[in-house]
Structure 1
Amino acid sequence: MTNHFLKLLLLLLCATAAKAQETEDLLKLVEKDNPKKEFVKYAFKSSRVINGHSMEFLAPGTMDFRILHRFGQLDQGYKNFFGLDQASMRMGFDFGLYRNLMVGVGRSTFKKELDGFIKYAPIMQAKGEGASPVTVALVAGITMNTQPWADPTINNYFSSRLGYYYQVIVGRKFSEALSLQLSPTMVHTNLVPVHTQPNDVFALGVGGRIKLTSRIALTADYYYVANGIEKGLNYNPLSVGIDIETGGHVFQLHFSNATGMNERAFITETYNTWSKGEIRFGFNLSRIFQIKKHKPSM
């Protein structure tokens, strides 16, 4: 009887093992047909293209210390050393909070502006089951002019120093070599410089990146301003640059007709044009610091 019991137990164990193997094989087939969702990274090597925000986000727990530096106009010639005797800059600190959420603050010499923003992506480009072919990011920002009042003898209001911008970024990394995005933007300025300029300005931004080598890429961004452009006074901002990746740094050399380096400034107050050679050479330097250890999600 003992022998019969052992034989029966052995048969049951064999059957259970075979069933487990069959289940495992089926699960492998299902995973192969429906691969795990994997988010697409490095559409851009920075959270900004050149002037404007990119579809890219900082990793959680990291800080991006950014210096944006732009010299004077090249067409001023040798008397101003082709613009190198002048400079405007923005220094910023951006923080990655979650995979799809980041914030940042900065200070510019142009109009001595302080600025801050929050960027959130409800949809992120990914591969696999339930994946999205594009990233959709939302950006909201505020700027504050800290210059002395032009006329201190009249009633001046703190709200007159403020401006706001709201932006939707729709972008896609098409391949390792090509990324493109569109950025519809609205800028509101509480106090405009001239009465003919509207308080609300609408623009459509286009940004792109073409990877040339493992460490070098060509980048560009352009904003078509739909209203608020006065002929001969202000123009659409266009910037073209080269990204050079060196370990933890991203160094960018670029040319632009814009002086300001936040959305309110470069969209509504670009007073130079490429057609007349009123171009500024500059560079952006980005250094990433790990300020909090991130625990990977399971």
Structure 2
Amino acid sequence: MKKALSYILIMLCAYNGVAQDLGDILDQQTSDTTLLVASTFNGTRLLNGHSVETRKEGVLEFLISHRFGRINSGFEQLFGLDDSNIRFGLEYAINDRLTMAFGRSSFEKTFDVYGKYRLLQQKTGQNPFPFGLTVFGSATQKTIKDYEPDDKPSFSDRLTYTGQLLIARKFSPSLSVQLAPTFVHFNTVPESVDPNDIISIGIGTRVKISKRVSLNGEYFYNVNPFESVNVKNSLAFGVDIETGGHIFQLILTNSVSMIEKGFLAETGGDFFKGDIHFGFNISRAFQIKKTDRP
């Protein structure tokens, strides 16, 4: 309809002796429109951590995350493939902005719940906005019985909380970058010298190399790590593959945990010394609630 009006306008202008280029008219129409920037990342996960993305209203997403043992464990452990840790998760989009979720990890037998709220979205056109902003918050409880029978911790002792800002910009169809300032609070720490509150700064990127394949990188720097434990900064590289309703991620990382409190504050492996875990994330989205979308 807009294109038809544009052609009519050109004809009227020409009839009145005023010639105007069609491209100029269409460019003016585009500049007068505000557009939301979509698909900054392929899915709700960058690699270990979350991306700025949230699902559309009524979508239930089932996620399976898997991390094998360390590659440098040698042939006896089949280079880590004999060991495995897994996390199952369910995410439900209450609306386009708000997602609530629940998960269970075999590593430390941890339960986690979290919410994501897309506060701002990048825009182009008449009223541009330079970046997207999503707020993330989670609570986890470790349930593994790694304590002495007469020294059982309370429910609250094993709780950990995470707050995170996910700030992302899509610079082009092939390049997206995300910053993730993060705060993690431990109700109980390994030793008294360790901080209960840990601050971490994350950076990640996606480079799209084809319509369905992209290369991802992710790094978290701990500002004040635990002092009693030899903690390393979490590093990950991966490949995203889109296959219809599935997003399949192949990952190399020095972190075995797949939840924030683990890979941010408790990673012990040195990536550059071969303490690398091969793993994958796979997700499947289901539209379980009808909406009024066209």
TM-score between both structures, scaled by the size of structure 2: 0.87
**Are 1:150 and 2:147 counterparts?**
yes
Q: Are 2:129 and 1:132 aligned? A: yes
Q: What is the alpha-carbon root mean square deviation over aligned residues? A: 2.0
Which residue of the partner structure matches residue 19 of structure 1?
none
- Matches of 2:269 and 2:154 in 1, distance apart? 30
- Whether 1:122 aligns to 2:119 is yes
- When structure 1 is superposed on structure 2, of 217-226 and 89-98 the one drifting more is 89-98
Which residue is equivalent to 2:234?
237
CA contact (8 A) 1:204 1:223 kept: yes
Q: Which residue of structure 1 lines up, in the alignment, with residue 186 of structure 2? A: 189
Give the conservation status (yes or no) of the 8 Å contact 1:229–1:235.
no
Distance 1:155 1:214 in 2: 52
Amino acid paired to 2:123: A
Q: Name the CA shift for 1:81/1:154 in 2 (closer, same or farther; >3 Å).
A: closer
For 2:37, the equivalent position in structure 1 comes to 40
Structure 1 residue 275 corresponds to structure 2 residue 272: yes
Structure 2: distance between partners of 1:280 and 1:103: 28
Which piece of structure 1 moves more, 143-152 or 60-69? 143-152
**Which stretch of structure 1 is more off in the superposition, 128-137 or 272-281?**
128-137
- The 2-side partners of 1:250 and 1:40 are apart by 20
Does residue 78 in structure 1 map to residue 75 in structure 2? yes
Aligned runs of 1:191-206 on 2, under 5 Å?
191-206=188-203
- Tell me whether 96-105 or 43-52 shows the greater mean CA deviation: 96-105
Aligned to 1:6: none
State whether residues 167 and 185 of structure 1, in contact with CA within 8 Å, keep that contact through their aligned partners in structure 2.
yes
Change beyond 3 A, Cα 1:33–1:242: closer
Mapped to 1, the partners of 2:243 and 2:102 lie a distance apart of 24
Q: Give a deviation string over 1:260-283, Cα, whole Å, max 9, x none.
A: 111011111101011211101011
CA distance in 2, matches of 1:168, 1:80: 38
Cα distance in 2, alignment partners of residues 117 and 223 from structure 1? 20
Task: Tell me the CA shift for residue 30 of structure 1.
Answer: 12
- 3-state secondary structure, aligned to 2:149: coil
- Structure with higher Rg: it is 1
2:282 is the counterpart of 1:285: yes
Identity %: 39
Aligned with 1:234: secondary structure? coil
Specify every segment of 5 or more residues in structure 2 that has no aligned partner in the other structure, as ranges: 1-24
CA displacement at 1:296 relative to structure 2: 2.3
**TM-fit CA distance, 1:31:** 7.7
Separation of aligned partners in 1, 2:103 and 2:292: 28
- Mapped partners of 1:77, 1:190: distance in 2: 37
AA paired with 2:106?
T
Q: Which residue of 2 aligns with 1:207?
A: 204
Shift of 1:231: 8.7
Whole-angstrom distance in 2 between the partners of 1:109 and 1:208: 28
Q: 1:270 to 1:149 in 2, by over 3 A?
A: closer
Q: Following the alignment from structure 1 to structure 2, what is the Cα–Cα distance between the partners of residues 232 and 257?
A: 16
What is the rounded CA distance, in whole Å, between the counterparts of 2:145 and 2:46 in structure 1? 32
With normalisation by structure 1, the TM-score equals 0.86
Range with greater deviation from structure 2 (123-132 or 88-97): 123-132
Contact 1:62 1:95 in 2 (8 A): yes
User: What is residue 60 of structure 1 aligned with on the other side?
Assistant: 57
Aligned mates of 1:194, 1:229 — CA distance in 2: 9
Say how many residue pairs are matched.
271
CA deviation after TM superposition for structure 1 residue 102, in Å: 1.1
Instruction: Select between 164-173 and 231-240 the one with higher mean Cα deviation.
Output: 231-240
Q: Using the TM superposition, give the Cα deviation of residue 197 of structure 1 relative to its aligned residue in structure 2, in angstroms.
A: 1.9
Aligned-partner Cα distance in 2 for 1:67–1:246: 16
Following TM superposition, by how much is the alpha carbon of 1:294 offset from its aligned partner in structure 2, in angstroms?
A: 2.0
Secondary structure of 1:179's aligned partner = strand
1:153 partner SS: helix
Given candidates 165, 169, 173, the residue that maps to 1:172 is 169
Alignment partners' CA distance in 1, 2:272 and 2:56: 39
